[in-house]
Structure 1
Amino acid sequence: MNAISATSSTAEANAIARAALRSDRFRLEREADWQRLEAIVTRMEKGRYRRLSDDDLLALPGLYRTVASSLSIARETSLDAATLAYLEALVQRAWFVVYGPRSSLWDWLRGFLGGGLSAAVRSIWVDVLIALAVMVAGTVVGWLLVAHDTEWYFSLMSPDMAGNRVPGASRAVLHASLFGNSGQSGMSVFAAQLFSNNAQVSILAFSLGFALGVPTLLLLVQNTASLGALLWLYNGKGLLIDLIGWLAVHGTTELFAILLAGAAGLHVGRSIAFPGNRTVLRAASEAGRRAAVVMTGVVLMLVIAALLEGFARQMVDQTFGRFVIGGFMLAAWCAYFFAFRGGANRVRRA
């Protein structure tokens, strides 16, 4: 028994020695490349790009592939744990240097607001004009429908949104819904519901664009038809200008966001319906990237609209002051989207 145990121990010791020797030989044969890659990665992580030679930069992709191959071999041959851990960490660090993002969140945000968003909006200007025409037409249709038959008002406006703003309401009731709320903090129930509705419309208008843009057009008409019905109601009591001022504070931002969301959805649908010389998949992919940039801006605009709706409109209790705020926001958005160029990379038009 002792002889058998001694033989087994000797065999085990020999196996360990051979494994250690194989691991040492593996490391010695490739360690120079590992160390060079580690030195390059360390300098790049610390931002010391000036200390890197042209040869190092040119060799970086090849060194990364070499070390990644070494890691694969080390896993297959079950080398020692220390070598495996070292190679895994080095390959992970090198991957971020070779293939990882080249800019920080701040750099991306600066590029996005510094020209990327406005360029994306300008690149879909045809769809913006189509969406604008549809929204104007929807408002007119809503006005005419309710003027012809007041029952349409209840079809276009949900009971929760309408509240006491219904046909037959007195001028005093409608006037009280526009003024005398400067002491309130935060959004009124109607304002919150209106914002929630418009946010849902913006998301749906974009997401339904893949169906050749038809559902997007219908959604824009339906949403603005309710606006036309509301305008008709207040016009009947001589409060049209006051209502427009009440809406202008946040509406010039919120409706602009809906306009851009609808245009983004139409852009995707139009690219699918008319891909030109491109394949449908490629056309949809390119349009989707541009539309995604626009929708990121739409989300930002909706947040700003919520702040204006919740606070600025409640604090300003005069129609003129509301027009000043709304007019300023509209001018600012138009200047940013259609006049501001910035220094960011331009988004190519379809």
Structure 2
Amino acid sequence: MSDVSPTLRSQRFRREREADWARLERLMDKAEKGSVGKLTDEEILAVPVLYRSTLSALSVARETSLDQGLIEFLETLSARAYFFVYGSRATLQDRVTGFFRRDWPVAVKGLWRETLVSAGLMLLGALVAAWLVTVEPEWFYAFVPAEMANGRDPAASTETLRATLDGTDGHDGLSVFAASLFTHNAQVAILAFALGFALCLPTGLLLLYNGATVGAFVALFASRGLGWEIGGWLMIHGVTELFAVVLAGAAGLRIGWAVAFPGVRTRLDAAVESGRTAAVAMAGVVVMLFVAGLLEGFGRQLIVETWARYTVAGVTGLIWFAYFYGPRRSPVDGR
């Protein structure tokens, strides 16, 4: 029977190995402070070796019942090294870059079927509302809330409507009208996504309603000979804003369809799986709404020529289309 006390055994055990532990601890401190890039090749290669050595020491310490303080120290150090060796070391900047470079456009491209359905529903709502308002102007009030119209309704004169487009009715009036429209579209986008789980029905109705609101506005102005002008006024920011609503609707439809028709999966598993792609797309929708807000707040106020507004709208549309649907390199083979 050994006459060496547990305390002496623990001290001897520590002395024989503490140089390696100290080195591993220094490397982990350096890496966790955001200096992974400053580690030399030799240090990076040394970490797995030191990690395995520390794990072995931890196993011995537990098996021989060395002091609890030493065991806790080795457990903590091993956990830190584990995340360095096997965990993701992506920085916040890497994750943000990856989102815009890969995750978001891939998610949107994967929703192309739902995007077509979402856009079709919105277009259908716009066409039906435009036809109804053209036949009977009183239908306008059924599609456009009074607080959004803010006096821009069938009772307004043509000059009042024209002033809305060129800003001659005053900056405040124009801003209120534009802000109301933006807020409406943003709310529809969020609700279209959030209510998608209800078998797609609320999402589809919201898309129809949002399209009807736009169609009613366009029909009213077109009936006064202002169709060209209202198109430029809407589309300078509407390309981005309405596309964001379409994508939000597509994300909601993806979840709703998975819940309604889960296939061999459970409904919960289907919703979770589809929700991953939908959530990434929806995170990007928030970015698009922010960009649309900038275009609405600055671009439309500063760019007053209708042809210039259409030019900005066209360029914006091409940029979004190329970003989402253009060819991109594979992260695996670099093609």
Displacement after TM superposition at 1:213 (Å): 1.5
Tell me, yes or no, if the aligned pair for 2:58 and 2:71 is still in contact at 8 Å: no
- Give the 5 Å matches for 1:75-86: 79=68
Displacement after TM superposition at 1:283 (Å): 2.7
Higher relative contact order (CA 8 A, sep 6+): 1
Aligned-residue CA RMSD (Å): 3.5
1:232 alignment partner AA: A
Provide closer, same or farther for how the CA distance between residues 90 and 145 of structure 1 changes in structure 2, counting only shifts above 3 A: same
Distance 2:200 2:58 in 1: 46
In the alignment, is residue 50 of structure 1 matched against residue 37 of structure 2? no
Q: Secondary structure at the match of 1:188?
A: helix
Provide closer, same or farther for how the CA distance between residues 186 and 179 of structure 1 changes in structure 2, counting only shifts above 3 A: closer
Distance 2:187 2:294 in 1: 17
Distance 1:141 1:106 in 2: 46
Over alpha carbons, which structure has the higher Rg? 1
- Give the 5 Å matches for 1:5-44: 21=8, 24=11, 27=14, 31=18, 34-35=21-22, 37-38=24-25, 41=28
Tell me, yes or no, if the aligned pair for 1:182 and 1:314 is still in contact at 8 Å: no
Once the two structures are overlaid, the 10-residue window that deviates more, 334-343 or 48-57, is 48-57
In the alignment, is residue 110 of structure 1 matched against residue 89 of structure 2? no
Distance 2:57 2:148 in 1: 63
Q: Secondary structure at the match of 2:328?
A: coil
Displacement after TM superposition at 1:40 (Å): 5.8
Distance 1:194 1:71 in 2: 67
2:129 alignment partner AA: G
TM-score where L is the length of structure 1: 0.79
**Residue matched to 2:287:** 300
Tell me, yes or no, if the aligned pair for 2:167 and 2:174 is still in contact at 8 Å: no
Once the two structures are overlaid, the 10-residue window that deviates more, 313-322 or 154-163, is 154-163
- 5+ residue gaps, structure 2, are none
TM-score where L is the length of structure 2: 0.82
In the alignment, is residue 119 of structure 1 matched against residue 110 of structure 2? no
Distance 1:150 1:68 in 2: 80
In the alignment, is residue 334 of structure 1 matched against residue 321 of structure 2? yes
In the alignment, is residue 155 of structure 1 matched against residue 146 of structure 2? no
Among all aligned residue pairs of Structure 1 and Structure 2, give the percentage whose two residues are the same amino acid: 44
Distance 2:293 2:67 in 1: 59
Provide closer, same or farther for how the CA distance between residues 233 and 182 of structure 1 changes in structure 2, counting only shifts above 3 A: closer
Displacement after TM superposition at 1:195 (Å): 1.3
2:290 alignment partner AA: V
Tell me, yes or no, if the aligned pair for 1:186 and 1:311 is still in contact at 8 Å: no
**Residue matched to 1:228:** 215
Q: Secondary structure at the match of 1:209?
A: coil
**Residue matched to 2:121:** 134
Distance 2:49 2:67 in 1: 32
In the alignment, is residue 291 of structure 1 matched against residue 278 of structure 2? yes
Provide closer, same or farther for how the CA distance between residues 22 and 153 of structure 1 changes in structure 2, counting only shifts above 3 A: farther
Number of residue pairs aligned between Structure 1 and Structure 2: 325
247, 257, 282: which one aligns with 1:260: 247
Distance 2:332 2:280 in 1: 13
Provide closer, same or farther for how the CA distance between residues 301 and 63 of structure 1 changes in structure 2, counting only shifts above 3 A: farther
Provide closer, same or farther for how the CA distance between residues 165 and 21 of structure 1 changes in structure 2, counting only shifts above 3 A: same
What does the per-residue CA deviation read over 1:142-163, in whole Å, with 9 as the maximum and x for residues that have no partner? 2233334444322321111101
Displacement after TM superposition at 1:328 (Å): 0.7
Provide closer, same or farther for how the CA distance between residues 20 and 191 of structure 1 changes in structure 2, counting only shifts above 3 A: farther
Provide closer, same or farther for how the CA distance between residues 213 and 344 of structure 1 changes in structure 2, counting only shifts above 3 A: farther
1:192 alignment partner AA: A
Displacement after TM superposition at 1:133 (Å): 0.7
2:42 alignment partner AA: R
Tell me, yes or no, if the aligned pair for 1:156 and 1:226 is still in contact at 8 Å: yes
Distance 1:77 1:153 in 2: 81
Tell me, yes or no, if the aligned pair for 2:248 and 2:285 is still in contact at 8 Å: yes
- 5+ residue gaps, structure 1, are 1-17
